[in-house]
A and B are shown apart, each in its own frame.
Chain A
Amino acid sequence: MKKENQTPVLELKDIHKSFGENHVLKGFNLQLFKGENLVIMGKSGSGKSVMVKCIVGLIQPDSGSITINGHDIITMGQRELDFLRTQIGFLFQGSALYDSMTVRENLEFPLRRHKDKIEDFKSTEQSVQDALKSVGLLHTIDLMPSELSGGMQRRVALARALILKPKIIMYDEPTTGLDPITANEIIQLMRSIQKEYNTSSLIITHDVDCVRVISNRIILLVDGINYAEGTYDELSNSSDPQTRAFFKN
């Protein structure tokens, strides 16, 4: 996936972020290329979620630069950032579905302001149905999130992340809290979405099965810096015991 002359769709350079005395990111770097599935692994509390929240502008880094399709998001105004966010899908760890809205309303929500930015937009109803079909949950369209299982909620959240047809999708621990069968369904869904929509994916996970199936490249985030980088085979067979430890089931 990574080509020498290719421009990254997402690039993080020397990102630092501290919360008081707690230095979470200490010069983290990342490049995500078109069509690539990049996995970030790290221990709990190593700053993976902070890093991904910096990318979508939910947290401001202390220093460093973040560029998406060549646009620096740190210096960007709110309107430009909102527009850029329509090119990024985000799957939250806990799904984060709006619990006062039905599945249909959850999916319609991002379309209210941004449907004009979708290239082949037909109608709101059609877009909602297409997104739900792609995750196999069209029959849940009029249900409330509380009426869905954890796995179904995750799939609806994925449909919501896809509805604006983003170029980049970020998954924050997509299989955490799910049983192995449902987790596998989510992994297969992520693969099929990547093929169907030709997206670039940034995946944060501890799930070794997920990493093995889905990753093109892996970055290990340890103590706020890039500790190791490579493919699944390279890192799982590494001579470094700390690197190998991440791949023990």
Chain B
Amino acid sequence: MKKENSLITRTKLFFAEIGDMTLFAGRFFRELFSPPFEFRELIRQCYNMGIRSLFLVMVTGFILGLVFTLQSRPTLTDLGAASWMPSMISISIVREIGPVIIALICAGRIGSGIGAELGSMRVTEQIDAMEVSGTNPFKYLVVTRILAVTLMLPLLVIAGDTVALFGSAIIENLKGDVSYTLYFNKVFDALSFSDVLPATVKTVFFGFAIGLVGTYKGYNCSKGTVGVGEASNSAVVYSSMLLFIIDFIAVFVSDIFFEV
């Protein structure tokens, strides 16, 4: 009986949190279009989240390209389909692996950073101090961060995908004696509008999800320093889960509009 009650309470809390987060997202859209606009802070956040994540994203993308090609090559060679390598790698990376892996990396780096930063600002009363000084902290802290991740993630994914293809080209050149020109010709032949567009559009939603969860967890942080750790941790866990759900929906929807 006690276990049942606990399960009911947890389910209620889960749905209450979903409801709260929906209201939080609604407030984001309301505040996004109402002046004053915090352009300076938005640029600062774009720099922090975009430029400062670029190295990590590029290293991850490069290794992803190397490893993916190394792992796939023997199987395709056995099947006599080694010439399909550039098309297979490019479609896999651009459509699915690149966006998901890079979004997960960003959920770890950016999502946890936002959760911890806003959480510590909440528990040390810095957010209250902003409010008392007549500044809207939601607009200054939340809107700018969500918008910055939403704008930066697609660019990071494009950079990561490009570097991943370079990594793959290096392995093909070394192991398969495929020239870089031939490799990239095959890549561009294989990729079409219907591969690039849905993949890029879904990264916008990935970015929004990472920003929304991170800011929600941090902004509503409580329970002191323990709460900051929880906010940071749950920002990563929830946003990672949300990324897979969005990915499924995006693939499902793009399948309707673009014949795969």
Contacts and interface: CB of A to CB of B under 8 A. Distances in A.
Interface in B114-128: 117, 121, 124-126, 128
Interface stretch (A105-113, A125-133, A187-195, A239-247): A105-113
B125 A92 contact: yes
A180 interface: no
Q: How big is chain B's contact interface, by range?
A: 10 to 19
Interface stretch (B129-137, B151-159, B169-177, B207-215): B129-137
Contacts of B136: 78, 82
A96 B129 contact: yes
B80 interface: no
Interface string A50-73: 000100111000000000000000
A150 to B, nearest CB: 13
A97 interface: yes
A85 B132 contact: yes
A58 B134 contact: no
A96 B134 contact: no
Contacts of B36: 113
A82 B129 CA distance: 12
Interface string B22-47: 00000000000000100000000000
A92 B129 contact: yes
Contacts of B133: 85-86, 109-110, 114, 160, 164
Interface string A84-115: 01101010111011111000000001101110
Nearest to B120: A99
Contacts of B126: 96-99
B129 A113 contact: no
Contact of B135 (A83, A96, A97, A109): A109
Contacts, number: 57
A96 B137 CA distance: 14
A96 B125 CA distance: 5
Given A92-B129, A96-B129, A113-B36, A86 B134 contact: yes
Most chain B beta-carbon contacts within 10 A, residue among A90, A93, A160? A90
A82 B126 CA distance: 16
Contacts of B121: 98
A142 to B, nearest CB: 18
A177 to B, nearest CB: 13
A73 to B, nearest CB: 12
A53 B127 CA distance: 13
A53 B36 CA distance: 25
Interface residues of A, number: 26
A22 to B, nearest CB: 16
A88 B135 contact: no
Contacts of B130: 98, 109
B134 A113 contact: yes
A53, A93, A98, A160: which has the most chain B beta carbons within 10 Å? A98
Nearest to B125: A96
A164 to B, nearest CB: 8
Q: Which of B129, B130, B136 has the most CB of A within 10 A?
A: B129
A14 to B, nearest CB: 24
A193 B8 CA distance: 56
A131 to B, nearest CB: 13
A85 B134 contact: yes
B135 A58 contact: no
A7 to B, nearest CB: 24
A82 to B, nearest CB: 4
Nearest to B38: A112
B134 A92 contact: no
B135 A110 contact: yes
B134 A83 contact: yes
25 contacts: A57-B131, A58-B131, A82-B136, A83-B134, A85-B131, A85-B132, A86-B133, A88-B132, A90-B129, A92-B125, A92-B128, A92-B129, A94-B125, A97-B129, A99-B124, A100-B117, A109-B130, A110-B133, A110-B134, A112-B135, A113-B36, A113-B134, A160-B129, A160-B133, A164-B134
Interface of A: 53, 56-58, 78, 82-83, 85-86, 88, 90, 92-94, 96-100, 109-110, 112-114, 160, 164
Interface of B: 36, 117, 121, 124-126, 128-136
Given A57-B131, A110-B133, 20 more contacts: A56-B132, A58-B131, A82-B134, A82-B136, A85-B133, A85-B134, A86-B134, A90-B132, A92-B125, A94-B125, A96-B128, A98-B126, A98-B129, A99-B124, A99-B126, A109-B130, A109-B133, A112-B135, A113-B36, A164-B133
